[in-house]
Structure 1
Amino acid sequence: MSNLKPDSVIACLDCPNHVQAVLEASMWASIRLQAPIGLLYSVPSLQQKAAVDYSGCLNIDDENTLLDQFTAKEHLSNCELKAQGKRLLHQASSYCEQQRHKIKTYTLHRHEKLDESINYVDDQAQLIVIGHHVTCKSTLSQLIRSSHCPILVTHAPFLPPTSALFAFDNSPTSHKMLNWLCKTPLVRALMIHIVMVSKENSENCDALREAYARLKQAGIKCKKTLLDCRDVTSALTYYQHDNDIGLLMTGAFAQPRLIELLKGSDTKKLLGSTTTPYLLFPKA
């Protein structure tokens, strides 16, 4: 029987360098969403050429809960992989308990690839949190593209944001994300900059004004900006840096595939350029 709890924040513990950041981001989200954290560990593929070393991936005062140093081998046996997962999940649970936020956590030890594990939690989770560098065979872009749940990608260390940039392009995905932002408590306390990168014409100005009004009506502090620029990635990156905004929020791979093929994916470019937490909303 599955122990997956509905409406959880799922913390993907797949990358040694980002485990602590993923847990910090998950606790930040859990407090705001009033949701439990599902600690998800997927057994790495046996095709990996070297063992994934999780030793020292968390800073915990209690030395008894630190992970043992894993011996680098060409391959790990199934028993060793399971034992590694249990130790990692135990350490992650201990870390969350020490933060004194009274957050409920539970573990999900999946003996499958990470993309299959994300597919398993996808329909019932509120939010999936994942590190910027994944160790599985799938790329981060592939994992995000196939998900139907909002995904928060974090670098290490995770810095709790006080403001967020919502990239609005008047697409069905951005309108769906707008509806979600008006309802979710996740970003309600943040100052949201709603930014549109497009031609400055009456249609775009009206769409941006209406989106801004929706956020205001929902009780969210916000400001609107239209940037007349061809390069979406550069415009958003510059605006975010210039305004010291701690969280980027966009639709995930919302462009038509033909445009992605000809011009490249804005989502993929932003994943490669941003150094802040990045919230991606699934394509409508």
Structure 2
Amino acid sequence: MSNLKPDSVIACLDCPDHVQAVLEASMWASIRLRAPVGLLHSMPSLQQKAAINYSGCLNIDDENALLEQFTSKEHLSNCELKAQGRLLLSQATSYCEQQRHKLKTYTLHRHENLNQSIDYVDDQAQLIVIGHHVTCKSTLSQLIRVSHCPILVTHAPFLPPTTALFAFDNSPTCHKLLNWLCKTPLVRALTVHIVMVGKETSDNCDALREAYAKLKQAGIKSKKTLLDCRDVAAALNYYQNQHDIGLLMTGAFGQSRLRELLQGSDTKKLLVSTKTPYLLFPKA
């Protein structure tokens, strides 16, 4: 029987260097969404697997010695992999409890790869939080591309944002993201900069103005900007850095595969270049 709770914030603990950041980001989102945090650890069932160094990934000493024992081995058996996962989930639960946010947390120990685990939670979660450097064979881009749930990618350390950049391109995916932002309490307390990169045409100006008005009507403090630049990722990075914006929000992989092949993917470029939390909304 599944213990997955609907509308959870799912914290993916697959990345040793980002476990604490993923937990911090998940707790930040959980408080705003008033949602439980599902602590997810994925472990494919393999006869032999190289040990992953989770020791010291959280500031909890009680069980670090046990995790270090697993790390010292070159390979782990299935039983040892399961024990390592249970210890990691126990540490993550303790860490969340120590923050005194009175959050509801529960654990999801999945005996499958991260792709399958994300597919398992995808339809019922409110938000998936993942570290920037995943340990699975699939790239971060591949995981995001197949998801139907918003995904928050975080670096370490996680810094709670006070401002956000919403990259608006008037696409169906961006309009879905716009509608979601107007409804979700996740960004309610943030100042949202809605930024469009493109020519200063009447169509672009009208679309940007309407989107800005919709955010304002939803009670979200907003600013709007149109940047005339050919390189979308470079323009967004420059604007974000110039205004010290703590959260980037875009649609995920809105371009066609052919355009990505010819021109490159703006989403991939931003995943590589941005150093702040990055919220990606699934393609319409």
Query: Is the TM-score greater than 0.5?
Result: yes
Deviation of 1:47 (Å): 8.4
Q: Structure 1: how far apart are the matches of 2:193 and 2:47?
A: 44
Q: Structure 1: how far apart are the matches of 2:185 and 2:71?
A: 43
Q: Structure 1: how far apart are the matches of 2:231 and 2:253?
A: 16
Percent same amino acid at aligned positions? Answer: 83
* Contact 2:30/2:36, CA 8 A, preserved across alignment: yes
1:17 partner amino acid: D
Q: How does the TM-score come out when normalised to structure 2?
A: 0.97
* Contact 2:246/2:276, CA 8 A, preserved across alignment: yes
Pair 1:281 & 2:281 matched: yes
CA-atom RMSD in angstroms: 1.2
* Contact 1:167/1:195, CA 8 A, preserved across alignment: yes
Larger displacement relative to structure 2 (38-47 or 189-198): 38-47
Q: Using a 3 Å threshold, how does the CA distance of structure 1 residues 45 and 251 change in structure 2: closer, same or farther?
A: farther
Q: Structure 1: how far apart are the matches of 2:47 and 2:267?
A: 29
Deviation of 1:67 (Å): 5.4
Give 2:82's aligned residue. Answer: 82
Give 1:110's aligned residue. Answer: 110
* Contact 1:191/1:222, CA 8 A, preserved across alignment: yes
Q: How does 1:28-177 map to 2 (within 5 A)?
A: 28-44=28-44, 46=46, 50-60=50-60, 63-66=61-64, 68=66, 69=68, 70-177=70-177
Deviation of 1:46 (Å): 3.9
Name structure 2 gaps, 5 residues minimum.
none
Name structure 1 gaps, 5 residues minimum.
none
Question: For residues 90-124 of structure 1, what are the alpha-carbon distances to aligned partners after superposition, in whole Å with 9 as ceiling and x for unaligned?
Answer: 00000000000000000000000000000000000
Give 1:238's aligned residue. Answer: 238
Deviation of 1:80 (Å): 0.5
Give 1:191's aligned residue. Answer: 191
1:94 partner amino acid: S
Q: How does 1:200-279 map to 2 (within 5 A)?
A: 200-279=200-279
| 1:283 counterpart SS class | coil
Question: For residues 124-150 of structure 1, what are the alpha-carbon distances to aligned partners after superposition, in whole Å with 9 as ceiling and x for unaligned?
Answer: 000000000000011000000000000
Deviation of 1:66 (Å): 3.4
Q: Structure 2: how far apart are the matches of 1:48 and 1:233?
A: 41
* Contact 1:44/1:136, CA 8 A, preserved across alignment: no
Q: Structure 2: how far apart are the matches of 1:115 and 1:197?
A: 32
Deviation of 1:256 (Å): 1.1
Q: Using a 3 Å threshold, how does the CA distance of structure 1 residues 47 and 180 change in structure 2: closer, same or farther?
A: farther
* Contact 2:54/2:71, CA 8 A, preserved across alignment: no
* Contact 1:67/1:88, CA 8 A, preserved across alignment: no
Q: Structure 2: how far apart are the matches of 1:67 and 1:171?
A: 51
* Contact 2:15/2:134, CA 8 A, preserved across alignment: yes
2:163 partner amino acid: S
Count of residues in correspondence between the two structures:
282
